[in-house]
Structure formats: structure tokens, C-alpha cells
Amino acid sequence: MVRLMPGKRAKQPKLKKKAGVFDVAREAGVSVATVSRAFNLPDIVSEDVRRRVLATAQNLGYAANPAAKALRSRKTHIVGAAIPTLDYAIFAKMINHFQDSFAQHGYMTIVATTGFEHANVFEKVKTLVDRGAEALLLVGAIEDPALVSYLKRPHIPVVTTYSYLPDEIVPCIGFDNYAATESAMEYLADLGHRNFAMIAGSPKGSDRQRARIAAYKDFVGSRNLHGAANIIIRNFTIRDGTEAIRAILDKYPETTAVVCNTDVMAFGALSESRRLGIRVPQDISIVGFDDAEYAAQLEPPLTTIAVPAEEMGRLAAEMLHSSLSNGEPPRFVRLDSHLIVRKSACPPRALKQLRLAAAV
């Protein structure tokens, strides 16, 4: 006759309801308070007890419930980032480093993509803080009035990136987009160019585009150059760049220098020029913006403006983190962008002919 030991099943590895502090406490022969302390304030618990607690915790596969932890301690260890898209390398790179830096402090990053619609960002930001984000990374100027007034009351640490905006309502860590474009223009003007055109993204909802466009217009205007109005607005794809350069060649054939507000666009402009039999830089000079990975590998290598994407992400994370731990508020920091001279720009053809003539 078989006895089935009805009263007690030896072990029950199945239904174990996920060990909690209480289980660990019982098993280790201490109180729940001590368990909690062993994890969170290890210094104030005696060495042997701490070891015992940690060991039994390990043994039981204990992992603190993050919700309970967050509820009681009022710390979610979550930070949020609201960016236009991850599908654009320059944002992905920034977020990559932001996320990575914060992870080293035990924080997780949740990212919300807003598209390029400004209407979305307030909503996404609210979602982010409603979800428990303790700090926020934004990109660009805060435009939505609703968001402005939302951020005016002090909630949580916020920084905005990509633009240096000393008057912004939250600290920013970025570079001077106006000056960046200006430096490119200066370079081209010094080369002898007088007829300009620009390939830009939509200024709507992007202070960066607006700043670059303004720098372009101001520069062309103040130096009595040509083409202040020759601005083609397109989206941020290579194909848009190809269309834009066609438009320029078609509508403003006198153009000798085109400044692109994005390397993606410059890429399109470059490859389409080649297809059309226009030589760069001999026939037309092109400069980009971003210094994407491929910029140096294009034909010709692209003269462009290097942007501190990694640094923005990392610095934003560091600043927000110290704000979270020390209470030290984020600062306004102005990073450098600088023109990287490669081969896609040279003196305009007319000038070269002049020089040649002079040499004879």
C-alpha cells in the first residue's frame, strides 16, 4: 500500500509566490526593517547580519518590488526623454549616451517620441511625469505655451538640449545654432562665394532650424551677398536633399554655395549633383550640418559642422543626476560646435577663372 504523504508536500517550487521582504526576514531571522536596511543603508547594519540577509535574499531569489519601493520611498529611479524620433541618428546617439550614463547610476530611461509635431510634446511630457519620471530631457526650445506654463512651476529637474538658449525657462545644454551656421557662411564667403542658397528643415516648431535660417538671412543681408530668400524647406531625408538641390539648380542657377542644415540633406544634394553632372565643389560648394558618421566618406568628403551629440546626452544625464542627488540645479551650458573642413567646398568657379586670368 502506497502512502502519499497527504499532509505535506516536501517542497513546492511551483507556487512560490515570489519572495518578499517578509520571507527574507523570516528566513534570516531578522525583521523586515533590517532586510530593507541591509539593502538600502548597508552601513548602519552590522556586518554579519548584512551578509546573512544578502545571502538568504540571493538564495530565495528575492528582488524588491519596484512599485512598492517607489511608492514608499518616493523614488522611481526612472527618468524620461522626449525627443522627436529615434530614427534620426543624431537623436539616437544622444539618447544612447544619455541612457547609458543614467544607467550607471541605477536609473532607467523611458523615451517618448513626439514626431516633429509640437502639439505632441506637452502631452508626452505629462505622460512621462505621470509615469513617474523624476527628471526630464527635452530637445530644443520649449514652444507650446501650455508646456511653458507647466514647466514654470517647479516640478522636477528638466534640461533641454541641442540649442544653447540662455533665456530658456529651463536649463539647456547645447550649442549656438546661429553661430554655427554663421561660421559656415563665413567660411564660404571667405572662399569668395557671393551667391548662396540654403536647404533647411521646417522652421515650424524647431528653434534650431529657425536659428540657422536666421543666421543665413542675416549673414547674406549684412554682407550684401545674394540669395537671402533662396531657402528650400524640406524634410530630413536623403531624398529630400536630392529634391532640394534640383530645386536650387533650377530656380537659382547662379548659386555657387549651398548650406544644408543637415548632413542627410547634404548627402542627397551631393549625390544628386553627381547624377546631374554637376561637380562638387568645382561647380558648386556644399556644406552640411551634424558631422554624421558618413560625412567623411562621401564623395567628395563633406565639409560640415560637428555637433556634440554624445556630450549633450552624457552631460544632460550627469547634470540631471546630480540635481536628483545633491539638489544642485542643472546649469546652462554652452557646448562647442565647429566647422570641419573637408573637400565639398572651394572657391567659386568665377573666382578661379579670375585668378587664372591674373596668372597669365
Partner DNA sequence: GCAAAGAATGAAAACGTTTACATAAGTTGG
Partner DNA sequence: CCAACTTATGTAAACGTTTTCATTCTTTGC
Interface residues for its own copies in 196-255 (CB under 8 A)? Answer: 237-238, 242
DSSP string covering 178-208, please? HHHHHHHHHHHHHHT--BEEEEE---TT-HH
For every residue of 97-152, DSSP letters joined together read: HHHHHHHTTT-EEEEEE-TT-HHHHHHHHHHHHHTT-SSEEEES----HHHHHHHH
Using CB under 8 A, which of 112, 156, 306, 335 touches its own copies?
112
Choose from its own copies, DNA, none: what does 274 bind? Cβ within 5-8 Å by kind: its own copies
* Separation CA 298–CA 283 (nearest Å): 17
Max CA separation in the chain (angstroms): 119
Footprint on residues 286-325 left by its own copies (CB under 8 A):
293-294, 297-299
**Which residue number, 62 or 267, has a Cβ lying nearer to DNA?**
62
User: Angle formed by the axes of helices 21-28 and 32-40, to 10°?
Assistant: 100
**Residue 167 binding target from DNA, its own copies, none, CB below 5 to 8 Å by type:** none
Partner that binds at residue 298, options DNA, its own copies, none, CB closer than 5 to 8 Å by kind: its own copies
- What is the distance between the alpha carbons of residues 69 and 121, in angstroms, rounded to a whole number? 29
The residue within the footprint of its own copies, chosen from 130, 167, 190, 250 (CB under 8 A), is 130
Least distance to DNA, CB of residue 72, Å: 3
Q: What is the grid cell recorded at 54?
A: 544578502
Q: Which partner, DNA, its own copies, none, binds residue 62 by CB below 5 to 8 Å per kind?
A: DNA
Site for its own copies in 49-108 (CB under 8 A): 63-71, 76-78, 85-87, 89, 92-93, 95-96, 99-100, 103, 108
Using CB under 7 A, list all residues that contact DNA.
Answer: 17-18, 20-22, 29-37, 39-40, 44-46, 49-50, 62-65, 68-69, 71-74
Q: Which residues pair with 161 in a beta bridge?
A: 139, 173
The Cα 188–Cα 203 span in angstroms is 23
Q: Which does 254 bind (CB under 5 to 8 A by kind): its own copies, DNA, none?
A: none
**Which residue lies nearer to DNA by CB, 32 or 148?**
32
Residue 29 interacting entry, from its own copies, DNA, none, C-beta within 5 to 8 Å by type: DNA
End-to-end CA distance of the chain: give it in Å, rounded: 119
Q: How far is the CB of 358 from its own copies (least distance, A)?
A: 33
- With beta carbons less than 8 A apart as the criterion, state whether 198 and 230 touch: yes
Closer to its own copies by Cβ: residue 150 or 332: 150
Cell 530593507 locates to: 36
Answer yes or no whether residue 274 interacts with its own copies by CB under 8 A: yes
Q: At 273, which helix (H) or strand (E)?
A: helix 263-276
Name which of 108, 117, 90, 56 is nearest 265 in CA terms. 90
Q: Which residues bind its own copies (CB under 8 A)?
A: 63-71, 76-78, 85-87, 89, 92-93, 95-96, 99-100, 103, 108-113, 126-132, 237-238, 242, 264, 267-268, 271, 274, 293-294, 297-299
